[in-house]
Copies of this chain bind each other. A is one copy, B any other.
Amino acid sequence: MCEINEFPSVEKALLQLPTGDYDVVHGSLCGKQTCEIEVTEECKELAQKYNLELVTCGFKCREEQLRCPRVVRVGLFQHKLLPFPTTTPIQEIKYALFKFANKAIRIAGRGGVNIFCFAETWNMPHAFCTREKNPWCEFSENAQFGPTTKMLQELAKVHNMVIISPILERDEVMGDSIWNTAVVIDNLGNYIGKHRKNHISSAENSCESIYYSEGNTGHPVFETEFGKISICYGRHHPINWMMFGLNGADIVFNPSAAAGAESETLWHIEARNAAIANSYFTCALNRVGVEIFGNEYTSGDGKPPHKESNYFYGSSYVTAPNGTRSPGLSRTTNGLLIAEMDLNSNRQVRDEWGFLASQRLDMYKSLFAKAGSINYVPQIIRKMDKQK
């Protein structure tokens, strides 16, 4: 039912342009050139062995006189649901995905990754479009003590890596409620906290609100050995991104499960705009492929029932605070993007452009207080002679 477009990558297509044209088009669309970074041969070999597209890049940063560089490598892992039917028993799906994650984290470790992030609800089908509760709700786990967190705590310790694990959370204490939650594990293997998705999509075919509610964990910043990081699920909401910046985030990860041509138009815009507006790094992460469900379902779009999900278009990428973006991972295959950045970039861009200095928070705090009230009277100016 869905249109599957197997086109591999926008950036690769642009390479077909004549050299002179390519440079300007690339500069205008993607910003400054990123640089190459070194990764071990073992990292490359393992990626090839496990059929994982490996993309690496570095963002340039000026040296400062008083601060040492704060160089960090992030690893963005995008993957398909493994080649199973979604009807495979839960334990089997999870076990196979655990094995795959293990490999990906090992490759990332060999690539010097300090912070590793999965896409949204990485350890299960993104099945909310079906509106069926069974068996999807059974995939949910306790954020702190569930098997996925336990498994990743071990890997985090072994590879000295912070891991962000976006899962479906079950809160047994709060009425067995379900949440769309990112778990953060530090590089010693400690569970340091979680963040619950703040904005629940009601876009076409996205039926998340019948499974879980809007997050109640605020806009936390997790202070790790490799910088202050946040997880922002609400890509469409600039004020959501902004609150993570106000709380001091250096890097904001945006784990997604984004599918379909309409959504893809927004994909290359939103996380980049957030990096620019807030002068921090953003990491946009998506899953790949089509998921085929056991039962037919309808999409509320007037079309006949079907079993296939929309097409998840991958294309994970990183943006620096000056708007420069990394090459993207493929639209169609499993991949790992390793990006190196110096967190000093953020303050350098803030000093250079001054967007944060000119943001007039004080004015907006009053304006928002008014605009959020049900008695709000919008500021509308009408033609004088119309009011006579």
Contacts and interface: CB of A to CB of B under 8 A. Distances in A.
Given A361-B372, A379-B219, A354 B242 contact: no
A374 to B, nearest CB: 9
Contacts of A296: none
Interface stretch (A22-30, A79-87, A104-112): A22-30
A218 interface: yes
Interface of A: 5, 7, 10, 13-14, 16-18, 21, 24-25, 27-32, 184, 186, 188, 190, 192-193, 198-204, 214, 218-224, 228, 234, 236-239, 241-243, 246-248, 261-262, 264-270, 272-273, 276-277, 322-324, 352-355, 357-369, 371-373, 376, 378-385
Contacts of A184: 381
Given A29-B29, A32-B265, A268-B28, A243 B380 contact: no
A195 B27 CA distance: 33
Contacts of A247: 378-380
A24 B13 contact: yes
A236 B199 contact: no
A263 to B, nearest CB: 9
A248 B371 CA distance: 11
A322 B265 contact: yes
Contacts of A261: 27
